[in-house]
Amino acid sequence: MKLKTISLPKFGDDRGALVVLEVGKEIPFEIKRVYYMFDTQLGIRRGFHAHKELIQVAIPVKGSCKFLMDDGYEKVEILLDNPNIGLVIEPMIWHEMYDYSDDCVLMVLASDHYDEIDYIRNYQDFEREVKNG
C-alpha cells in the first residue's frame, strides 16, 4: 500500500515558521470540519476505525505520533513528526494512532461533518467490506 502525504508550503525566517494550506491547492477536498487532539495520555492508542466515504488529512502541528494504516490487505506504519507534512486518510483505511509525544497536537482536516453512520468500528466488519464490497 502506498501512503499519500501532502507537503505544505513552509515559510520561515528569523521570527519563526509559518505553514499554509489552501483548499483546491494542497488540500484536494472542501474542508467541512477540523478537529485536533492534544494532551493524549502516555500509552494511549486511538482511532480503531475506517470511514466509508470521509477523506481526511492529519497534520502533527506540534510534536509527533505514529499511524498504523491498514487497507485490509497490508498494514503500514508511518511516523508523523513534521508540521508541514500531512497524511491523507482515504476511505476504507483502518487507522490507529499511538506513540503520541507529550507535546503532540494532531490536527485533522475532514471532508464532511461528523457522522457516526460513516464509521466502521469493528475490524471484522471492515475486512468483510474490503473483501466483499
Query: Which residues carry out catalysis?
Result: 49
Using CB atoms, what's the residue nearest to ligand TYD?
46
25/121 with CB nearer ligand TYD? 121
Q: How far is the CB of 113 from ligand TYD (least distance, A)?
A: 8
Q: How far is the CB of 52 from ligand TYD (least distance, A)?
A: 14
Q: Does residue 43 contact residue 123 with C-beta atoms inside 8 Å?
A: no
| φ, ψ (nearest 5 deg) of residue 131 | -85, -30
5/119 with CB nearer ligand TYD? 119
49/62 with CB nearer ligand TYD? 49
Contact positions vs ligand TYD (CB under 6 A): 33, 35, 46-47, 49, 114
C-alpha cell at 101: 509525544
Q: How far is it, in rounded angstroms, from Cα 89 to Cα 100?
A: 18
Q: How far is the CB of 114 from ligand TYD (least distance, A)?
A: 4
Q: Does residue 97 contact residue 120 with C-beta atoms inside 8 Å?
A: no
Q: Does residue 67 contact residue 77 with C-beta atoms inside 8 Å?
A: yes
